[in-house]
Chains A and B, each alone.
Chain A
Amino acid sequence: MSETHAQTAAYVRDTMIPEQAPPGSEFGAIHWLRSNLFSGWLNTLLTVLSLGAVWWLIVHIGPWFGNAIWNANSLSECRAILDGREGACFGVIKDRWHQLLFGFYPGHLYWRPVLALVLMLAALAPVLFTGVPRQMLWFTALYPGVAYWLLWGGSVWFPIAALAGFAVGYAAYLLLARVSTLIGTIAAFLAPVLWWLFASQAVADALQSVIPLGIQPVRSDLFGGFMLSIIIGVTGIALSLPLGILLALGRKSDMLLVKTICVGFIEFIRGVPLITLLFTASLLLNYFLPPGTSFDIILRVIIMVTLFAAAYMAEVIRGGLAALPRGQYEAADALGLDYWKAQRLIIMPQALKVAIPGIVNTFIGLFKDTTLVVFIGLLDPIGLSNAIRADNAWNGIYWELFGFIGLMFFIFCFGMSRYSMYLERKLKTDHR
Chain B
Amino acid sequence: MLVYDTRYRSLTIQVVFLFLFMAGAAWLIDNTLQNLARLGKDFSFNFLWSRAGYDINQRFVEYDSGMTHGRAMLVGLLNTLFVAALACVTATVIGVLAGVARLSTNWIVGRLMTVYVEGFRNVPLLLWILVIFAVMTEAMPQPSAFRGDEPAASMLLFDSVAITNRGTYIPEPLFARSLGDIYVGLFYISLDLVAVIAVFIASLLGNRVLLRHAERVQNETGVRPRTWWKSVLILFVPLLILLSALGFHLRYPELRGFNFQDGIFMRNSLMALWLALSLYTGAFIAENVRAGILAISRGQTEAAFALGMRPRRTMRLVILPQALRVIIPPLISQYLNITKNTSLALAVGYMDLRSTLGGITINQTGRELEGMMLMMLVYLVISLLISLAMNIYNRSVRLKER
Contacts and interface: CB of A to CB of B under 8 A. Distances in A.
Nearest to B137: A398
Given A50-B112, A257-B17, A371 B126 contact: yes
A287 B123 contact: no
A255 B14 contact: yes
Contacts of A328: none
Interface stretch (A9-17, A297-305, A401-409): A401-409
B195 to A, nearest CB: 36
B130 A272 contact: no
Contact of A402 (B38, B134, B375, B383): B134
A53 B126 contact: no
B124 A272 contact: no
Interface stretch (B55-63, B102-110, B255-263): B102-110
Contacts of A396: 138
A409 B106 contact: no
Given A182-B1, A410-B123, A288 B130 contact: no
A116 to B, nearest CB: 23
B21 interface: yes
A61 interface: no
Contacts of B130: 382, 385, 398, 402
B232 interface: no
Interface in A248-297: 254-258, 261, 267-268, 270-276, 279-280, 283-284, 286-291
A39 interface: yes
B31 interface: yes
A267 B381 CA distance: 11
Contacts of B368: 283-284
B211 interface: no
Nearest to A282: B368
A54 B380 contact: no
B123 A279 contact: no
A387 interface: no
Nearest to B342: A273
Contact of A35 (B3, B105, B135, B379): B105
Interface string B364-376: 0000110010011
B249 to A, nearest CB: 34
B35 A291 contact: yes
Nearest to A406: B123
B171 to A, nearest CB: 27
B28 A288 contact: yes
Contact of B358 (A279, A372, A405): A279
Nearest to A33: B107
A267 B36 CA distance: 28
Given A291-B31, A413-B121, A371 B3 contact: no
B13 interface: yes
Interface in B318-376: 340-341, 343-344, 346-347, 354, 358, 362, 368-369, 372, 375-376
Contacts of A371: 124, 126-127
B14 A258 contact: yes
A76 interface: no
A37 interface: yes
B159 interface: no
Contacts of B36: 287
Interface residue tally on B, bucketed by range:
35 or more
Given A275-B344, A372-B126, A410-B119, A47 B109 contact: yes
Contact of A279 (B104, B122, B372): B372
A414 interface: yes
B32 interface: yes
A87 to B, nearest CB: 15
Interface string B85-102: 000000000000000010
A398 B134 contact: yes
A374 interface: yes
Nearest to A36: B107
A350 interface: no
Contacts of B131: 398-399, 402, 406
B10 interface: yes
A53 B32 CA distance: 58
Contacts of A54: 108, 112
A241 interface: no
A188 interface: no
Given A288-B32, A375-B346, A261 B21 contact: yes
A359 to B, nearest CB: 16
A271 B21 contact: no
A43 interface: yes
Interface in B120-156: 121-127, 130-131, 134-135, 138
B389 to A, nearest CB: 14
Nearest to A286: B35
B107 A364 contact: no
Contacts of A258: 13-14, 17
A73 interface: no
B34 interface: yes
Contact of A280 (B3, B18, B122, B372): B372
Given A276-B376, A375-B346, 18 more contacts: A46-B108, A46-B109, A182-B1, A258-B13, A271-B384, A273-B340, A273-B354, A276-B372, A276-B375, A283-B362, A288-B28, A291-B34, A364-B121, A372-B126, A398-B131, A398-B138, A405-B127, A410-B119
26 contacts: A37-B106, A37-B108, A46-B104, A47-B106, A54-B112, A255-B13, A256-B14, A273-B340, A276-B372, A276-B376, A279-B358, A283-B372, A288-B32, A290-B34, A291-B31, A368-B122, A369-B124, A389-B134, A398-B134, A398-B138, A399-B131, A402-B130, A409-B124, A413-B121, A413-B123, A414-B122
Q: Which 6 A-B pairs have the closest CB atoms?
A: A271-B383, A413-B122, A398-B134, A368-B124, A273-B343, A273-B340
Interface of A: 35-37, 39, 43, 46-47, 50-51, 53-54, 182, 254-258, 261, 267-268, 270-276, 279-280, 283-284, 286-291, 364, 368-369, 371-372, 374-375, 382, 385, 389, 396, 398-399, 402, 405-406, 409-410, 413-414, 417
